[in-house]
């Protein structure tokens, strides 16, 4: 979705972010939000299941940036004809 939005911005002559720095910023903000939510859950409950769910979500979020960059680099050979 982010990539499509950047493409449409580019077609309209607007500034585009094909380096995904804006997406990385969104993920960083989501990480901060997850930390705050985890703290509130920790203070509000006696069980750890809800806290564990937020921690797992945040771990998945952190991995998304690593996986996407690695996968994009791994897919580069499929686009050689366009480069």
Domain ranges for the chain, please list them: 2-82
> In whole angstroms, what is the distance from residue 28 CA to residue 14 CA?
24
Q: Each residue of 15-71: pLDDT tens digit?
A: 999 888 898 899 889 999 988 998 888 888 877 788 888 888 888 888 777 766 677
Predicted confidence band of residue 14 (pLDDT cuts 50, 70, 90): very high
The burial of 9, by beta-carbon neighbours within 10 Å (0-12 exposed, 13-18 middle, 19 or more buried), is given as middle
Per the model's pLDDT, the better-predicted residue between 17 and 78 turns out to be 17
The number of angstroms, rounded, from the C-alpha of 2 to the middle of its chain's C-alpha atoms is 10
What global pTM score does this model have? 0.65
**Count of CB atoms situated within 10 Å of the CB of 83:** 6
């Amino acid at each position: 979705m982010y990539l499509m939005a950047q493409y449409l911005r580019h077609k309209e002559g607007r500034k585009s972010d094909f380096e995904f720095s804006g997406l990385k910023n969104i993920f960083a903000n989501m990480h901060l939000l997850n930390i705050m939510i985890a703290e509130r859950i920790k203070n509000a409950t006696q069980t750890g299941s809800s806290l564990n769910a937020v921690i797992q979500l945040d771990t998945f979020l952190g991995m998304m940036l690593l996986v996407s960059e690695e996968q994009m680099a791994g897919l580069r050979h499929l686009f050689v004809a366009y480069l």
